[in-house]
Amino acid sequence: MNAPASETLQRLAHILGPHRLLTAANDLQPFLTDHRALYRGHALAVAQPETAAEVAQLLAVCNQARIGVVPQGGNTGYCGGATPDESGAQLVVSLARMKRIRAIDALNYSLVAEAGCVLADVQRAAEDADRYFPLSLGSEGSCQIGGNLSTNAGGVHVLRYGMMRELVLGLEVALPDGRLLSSLTRLRKDNTGYDIKALFLGAEGSLGIITAASLKLFPRIRATATTFAAVRDPRAAIELLARLRAASADRVSSFELIPRLAVELTVRHIQGVRDPLQASHSWYVLCELSSSRAHDALETMLSECLEQALTDGLLADAVLARNERERAALWTLRESIPEAQRRDGASLKHDISVPVAAIAEFIERAGNWVREHVPDGRLVAYGHAGDGNLHFNINQAPDADRSAFLARGDTVKRAIHDLVRDFDGSISAEHGIGRLKVAELERYAPAVELDLMRAVKHAFDPNGIMNPGKVLR
């Protein structure tokens, strides 16, 4: 190690004490690979701050020494954003020790959570106060609020409550120059100039480190009605969604599209998962209505709507969860699709969105392309159809050669993303850019937008120490 680096380490250790600055190779290992194992980096050290002031001091030192800083939350991100590069010169800052719920204000329907709080813990804290925090993802047992804010996470309730960006009232952020932006407001209205906090939401650690957030809460959910329904096709699914929204006074909280193959993969690879319906069908939806009123007639509403859809030929069959156990089983099927896909073999993943009304046409056109050009792949297009987001994934066919299949990745990505552009869609609906999609962002974002992003980056982080090589290069 060169002299300046070892001097910097000493200064960092001085801030944290010797035990919260990890430098031994074994201690660093868990922080060096991303969830999908796409990247393997090295690091100068891993810092484990416990307060916002410590985070700010770390950044001041790194800024002076021009050391790259990689914030890391639960490390469940899909785009390699939380993984250091291969240089061994970057500092990973793990927020895991900052996991205090600082305040809950039930009357104001808000809480303040530190960045390292695990999402499921925030959901529980809200529930304990008779409130509801609606962000919900398959990774909620390990992803952290700071990561959710920094990726602007989506998940299964976006059609009703919006993405993470829409659930934020205020932020506390340590800036690269060592200052702390303290704006943990609980206000619903505040028109005092630019919305600075908005820039950190979805910035993936490229502008500063979020240390805490003031979040919106909602009335606690007391009734749900959940169905797993076989739809005629994706077009029928979207028609059903439109009807359900109107018939239920907009109480649809989840609307997930699931193809047959995803059901087969979960039944095959995930213990305890069963096909909820007798016969097999090409497409399904998992749909949930929810309400804060215990006696809302949600099931009646849902059944009536499903019956009409059956009569009209939109549906072939449907089952309603009769209790919490059955409801949980349906959700396990849905949430374990990514894991089942992983166990089944290699997959080419595309996290795309198009306008909700265009989903069926997109699946038709992109699906035709895949069938024609990827004979060794099988389409598993599933996801949050209620908000227009599809995980347009292609799994290797059973006898396919893994490397030959993966070698087509770039060609497939180009075709899918070009089609997404033709639909005025997004090449990253909810997983972000990280390191994985930097070139894609450059290719598809309007030039003016890229210019403005670079200007913002320069204004916040003129020395380029924050998460170098992520989002923008």
* Amino acid making up residue 23: T
| Residue 71 is a binding residue for ligand MLT (CB under 6 A) | no
Choose the one of ligand MLT, ligand FAD, none that binds residue 82, judging by a C-beta under 5 to 8 angstroms depending on kind.
ligand FAD
The helix (H) or strand (E) run that includes residue 287 is strand 283-291
Residues 207-246 close enough to bind ligand FAD by CB under 6 A: 209-210
Choose the one of ligand MLT, ligand FAD, none that binds residue 49, judging by a C-beta under 5 to 8 angstroms depending on kind.
none
Torsion-angle region of 294 (φ positive above 0: left; ψ -120 to 50: alpha; else: beta)? alpha
Query: What value, to the nearest 5°, has the Cα angle with vertex 81 and ends 136 and 166?
Result: 40
Residues 106-125 close enough to bind ligand MLT by CB under 6 A: none
Binding mask 330-349 for ligand FAD (x = CB under 6 A): --------x-----------
Q: Which residue bears the tokens 């020395």?
A: 463
For ligand MLT, give the closer residue by CB, 49 or 77.
Answer: 77
Angle between helices 234-247 and 359-373 (to 10 degrees): 160
For ligand MLT, give the closer residue by CB, 28 or 262.
Answer: 262
Q: Which residue bears the tokens 């976006």?
A: 158
For ligand MLT, give the closer residue by CB, 245 or 391.
Answer: 391
Distances (CA, A) of 13 to 46, 57, 176, 186, 409: 11, 11, 18, 35, 43
Give 362-368's long-range contacts (Cβ < 8 A, gap of 24+): 362/390, 362/419, 362/420, 362/423, 362/425, 363/234, 363/390, 364/234, 365/419, 366/392, 366/415, 366/416, 366/419
Contact region for ligand FAD (CB under 6 A) — 72-80, 297-305, 308-316, 342-350? 72-80
Among 68, 147, 377, 383, binds ligand MLT (CB under 6 A): 383
Among 33, 42, 127, 138, binds ligand MLT (CB under 6 A): 138
With beta carbons less than 8 A apart as the criterion, state whether 190 and 157 touch. no
* Amino acid making up residue 390: L
Instruction: Report the alpha-carbon distance of residue 14 to residue 37 in Å, rounded.
Output: 33
Q: Which residues, including other chains, have CB under 8 Å from residue 387's CB and lie 6 or more apart?
A: 154, 158, 159, 353, 356
Binding mask 327-366 for ligand MLT (x = CB under 6 A): ----------xx----------x-----------------
Among 78, 109, 161, 331, binds ligand FAD (CB under 6 A): 78
Among 155, 176, 377, 469, binds ligand FAD (CB under 6 A): 155
Of 126, 306, 168, give the one whose Cα is nearest residue 225.
306
For ligand FAD, give the closer residue by CB, 98 or 360.
Answer: 98
Instruction: Report the alpha-carbon distance of residue 206 to residue 470 in Å, rounded.
Output: 7
| Residue 425 is a binding residue for ligand MLT (CB under 6 A) | no
| Residue 150 is a binding residue for ligand FAD (CB under 6 A) | yes
Tokens (6 digits) for 283? 């497409």
| Residue 139 is a binding residue for ligand FAD (CB under 6 A) | yes
Torsion-angle region of 193 (φ positive above 0: left; ψ -120 to 50: alpha; else: beta)? left
For the bound state, the minimum distance from the C-beta of residue 359 to ligand MLT, rounded and expressed in Å, comes to: 15
Of 202, 217, 107, 191, give the one whose Cα is nearest residue 149.
202
| Residue 391 is a binding residue for ligand MLT (CB under 6 A) | yes
For the bound state, the minimum distance from the C-beta of residue 299 to ligand FAD, rounded and expressed in Å, comes to: 26
Residue nearest to ligand MLT (CB): 338
Residues 448-467 close enough to bind ligand FAD by CB under 6 A: 467
| Residue 356 is a binding residue for ligand FAD (CB under 6 A) | no
For the bound state, the minimum distance from the C-beta of residue 242 to ligand FAD, rounded and expressed in Å, comes to: 23
| Residue 113 is a binding residue for ligand FAD (CB under 6 A) | no
For ligand MLT, give the closer residue by CB, 206 or 353.
Answer: 353
Which residues lie across from 20 on neighbouring strands?
none
The helix (H) or strand (E) run that includes residue 395 is strand 389-396
Choose the one of ligand FAD, ligand MLT, none that binds residue 391, judging by a C-beta under 5 to 8 angstroms depending on kind.
ligand MLT
For ligand FAD, give the closer residue by CB, 308 or 426.
Answer: 426
| Residue 216 is a binding residue for ligand MLT (CB under 6 A) | no
Point out which residues bind ligand MLT (CB under 6 A).
138, 337-338, 349, 383, 391
Interface residues with ligand FAD (CB under 6 A)? 35, 70-78, 81-82, 95, 115, 137-139, 143-144, 146-148, 150-151, 153-155, 204-205, 209-210, 338, 430-431, 434, 467, 470
